[in-house]
Amino acid sequence: MIYRMEGNRLILTLEKPMTLAELFTYFSVSKKQRHLCRMNGSIRCAGKIIRNDDHLLQGEVTIDLSQEQIDWVISDTPSQLVYSSPFLLVVHKPAGCIIHGDADDHTCLNARVAKTCVDQGISCSIRPIHRLDQDTCGLVVYSRHSFFQPWLDEQLAEKKIYRHYQAICFDTGRVSDHFTCNKPIGRDRHVSGRYRISPDGKDACTHFDVLARKNGYVLIGCRLETGRTHQIRVHLSHYGLQIVNDPIYGRPSSDFKYMGLWADSLSCKDPVTHRTIHIQDHIEKDYLYFGKRRK
């Protein structure tokens, strides 16, 4: 689908006719958002407001994306912006930074993204699509408008946002270069905040590839099929692979500054064109230990 932006208006050029209901389905628009679009007259075709689901849309269609306000406390420190489009932002989350903080938390990632939006002249609500553990660094996707959030949420739920990680572990020398763990994960009833392999847990699957070895450490690429809490950390621990500086499942290493888990790249689709976008994070210094490389 071809589009252009004119202020807050999204102007689509339809490749083939579709009904208003089909347009809503294309964007996975929620029932509440559909109602608001009809009430506010947000959809126009040939200059006319369209409210009937069965109305056939042709040619150019205009969607009025009402301007949304930043709804989070603003940090003094901006986030590191990696990718931006009219519909989504992708930022780098540093290790030790949480995504959601308290209402007055100026240090969380949401507050830093709010600062980035102010600096970039972007007026939008702060809507992260997924999370990362506090000690994990790397890429996080944000929706720039409530109209697109249900579609992005659906993409995540259907496992269509592909996330890749790199983990630095103490090398045991006991794993093959390619292996998969599909053990279910549940809470550890004996240790608060810890998770473990459990037959009664939630299904979880991670694919692993050894990328490099050096001086008793191993760099492992990790591809998620599910997104359970602490999934990579628990699955690696199951194989005796401890992530460096992991305060729960690993052990300390003075060779690295942070916990060795980095969400280094992701692939997702543009909410409007549905074309795949590949996004690579800026290099993390700890990973230069293995030389300048990409997955």
Domain boundary among 158, 176, 197: 158
Active site residues: 133
Same domain, 233 and 203: yes
Nearest-CA neighbor of 121 among 147, 82, 84? Answer: 84
pLDDT at 15: 93
For tokens 């699955």, the residue is 235
Domain boundary among 133, 158, 183: 158
> What domain range is 222 assigned to?
163-263
pLDDT at 23: 98
**3-state secondary structure (DSSP) of residue 64:** strand
Measured CA to CA, the distance from residue 149 to residue 88 in angstroms comes to 9
Same domain, 170 and 236: yes
Same domain, 83 and 122: yes
Same domain, 185 and 257: yes
Can you say whether the dihedral through the CA atoms of 69, 73, 74, 80 is positive or negative? Answer: negative
Contacts 24+ apart (CB under 8 A), 114-122: 114/70, 114/72, 114/73, 114/74, 114/75, 115/74, 115/75, 115/76, 115/77, 115/78, 115/79, 116/78, 116/79, 116/81, 116/89, 116/91, 117/70, 118/70, 118/74, 119/78, 120/81, 120/84, 122/89
- Structural element, H or E, at residue 149: helix 149-157
Mean pLDDT of 7-16: 96
Same domain, 60 and 72: no
The answer to whether position 255 is within a domain reads yes
Mean pLDDT of 126-155: 96
The answer to whether position 76 is within a domain reads yes
Mean pLDDT of 141-157: 95
Same domain, 53 and 94: no
CATH number of the CATH domain containing 10: 3.10.290
Q: How confident is the model at residue 165 (pLDDT cuts 50, 70, 90)?
A: very high
pLDDT at 291: 87
φ/ψ of 9, rounded to 5, equals: -100, 130
Residue 236 has pLDDT above 80, yes or no: yes
Per-residue tokens: 68? 């949304």
What's CA 111's distance to the chain center, in Å? 17
Q: Classify burial at 192, counting beta carbons within 10 Å of its beta carbon; exposed 0-12, middle 13-18, buried 19 or more.
A: exposed
Q: How confident is the model at residue 162 (pLDDT cuts 50, 70, 90)?
A: very high
pLDDT at 91: 98
Could you report the per-residue pLDDT of 214-223, keeping only the tens digit for each? Answer: 999 999 999 9
Strands of 2-6's sheet, edge to edge?
A: 2-6, 9-13, 60-64, 43-45, 48-49
CATH number of the CATH domain containing 100: 3.30.2350.10
Could you report the per-residue pLDDT of 240-264, keeping only the tens digit for each? Answer: 999 999 999 999 999 999 999 999 9
Nearest-CA neighbor of 251 among 231, 230, 237? Answer: 237
Domain boundary among 120, 136, 158: 158
The answer to whether position 235 is within a domain reads yes
The answer to whether position 240 is within a domain reads yes
Same domain, 139 and 221: no
pLDDT at 126: 95
Residue 294 has pLDDT above 70, yes or no: no
Residue 176 has pLDDT above 90, yes or no: yes
CB atoms within 10 A of CB 73: 18
Same domain, 105 and 49: no
Q: In the chain, how many domains are there? A: 3
Could you report the per-residue pLDDT of 183-205, keeping only the tens digit for each? Answer: 999 999 999 999 999 999 999 99
pLDDT at 103: 82
pLDDT at 205: 97
Measured CA to CA, the distance from residue 219 to residue 74 in angstroms comes to 36
Beta pairing partners, 197 = 185
Same domain, 55 and 80: no
φ/ψ of 111, rounded to 5, equals: -65, -35
The answer to whether position 282 is within a domain reads no
Measured CA to CA, the distance from residue 193 to residue 208 in angstroms comes to 24
The answer to whether position 41 is within a domain reads yes
Same domain, 21 and 72: no
Same domain, 43 and 101: no
What's CA 254's distance to the chain center, in Å? 30
Could you report the per-residue pLDDT of 30-46, keeping only the tens digit for each? Answer: 999 999 999 999 999 99
The answer to whether position 287 is within a domain reads no
The answer to whether position 284 is within a domain reads no
Residue 60 has pLDDT above 90, yes or no: yes
Mean pLDDT of 232-237: 98
Round the average pLDDT of the chain to a whole number and report it. 95
Same domain, 83 and 118: yes
pLDDT at 293: 56
